């Protein structure tokens, strides 16, 4: 149980285009999902907390208009990187909160490369 999928696993795009990443909880409902960014050999950095049916809460320094988050259902949250630039290249990983301790279960991650 507690499986989270993420799609796509890898994406390469041109500078200026927008990229959408989907995060789904497959066998449980998640009112809260999280989006992280991870640079090579670094720890996870929380970007935003996504609550179903309400606006996402962004961490300090994360641009709301650049990283659009939508949590339209209890099993799906999306992150759209708008007008992507090479500095947005990174590993993006989502998680969904569930289980008895409010454990965050993570998706497999999406590696974004912006040319």
CB–CB of 45/37 below 8 Å?
A: yes
Q: Which is nearer to another protein, 84 or 107 (CB)?
A: 107
- State which of residues 44, 62, 68, 74 lies at the interface with another protein (CB under 8 A): 44
- 61 lies in the site for another protein, by CB under 8 A: no
- 32 lies in the site for another protein, by CB under 8 A: yes
- 57 lies in the site for another protein, by CB under 8 A: yes
- State which of residues 15, 29, 103, 113 lies at the interface with another protein (CB under 8 A): 103
Q: How is residue 20 written in tokens?
A: 């959408």
Task: Name, in order, each residue with C-beta under 8 angstroms of 73's C-beta and a sequence gap of 6 or more.
Answer: 52
- 108 lies in the site for another protein, by CB under 8 A: yes
Q: Which is nearer to another protein, 80 or 106 (CB)?
A: 106
CB–CB of 107/6 below 8 Å?
A: yes
Tell me the closest approach of the beta carbon of residue 14 to another protein, in angstroms.
24
In angstroms, the CA 27 to CA 49 distance is 20
Handedness of CA 104, 106, 32, 67 (dihedral sign): positive
In angstroms, the CA 23 to CA 4 distance is 7
Residues contributing to the site for another protein (CB under 8 A): 2, 32, 34, 42-44, 46, 49, 51, 57, 91, 93, 95, 97, 101-109, 111
């Amino acid at each position: 149980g507690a499986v989270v999928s993420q799609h796509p696993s890898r994406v390469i795009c041109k500078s200026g285009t927008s990229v959408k990443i989907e995060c789904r909880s497959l066998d449980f409902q998640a009112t809260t999902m999280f989006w992280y960014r991870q640079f090579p050999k670094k720890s996870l950095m929380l970007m935003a907390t996504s609550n179903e049916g309400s606006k996402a809460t962004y961490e300090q320094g994360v641009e709301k208009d650049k990283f659009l988050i939508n949590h339209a259902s209890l099993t799906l949250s999306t992150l759209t990187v708008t007008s992507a630039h090479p500095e947005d290249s990174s590993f993006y990983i989502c998680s969904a909160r569930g289980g008895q301790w409010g454990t965050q279960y993570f998706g497999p991650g999406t590696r974004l490369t912006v040319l």
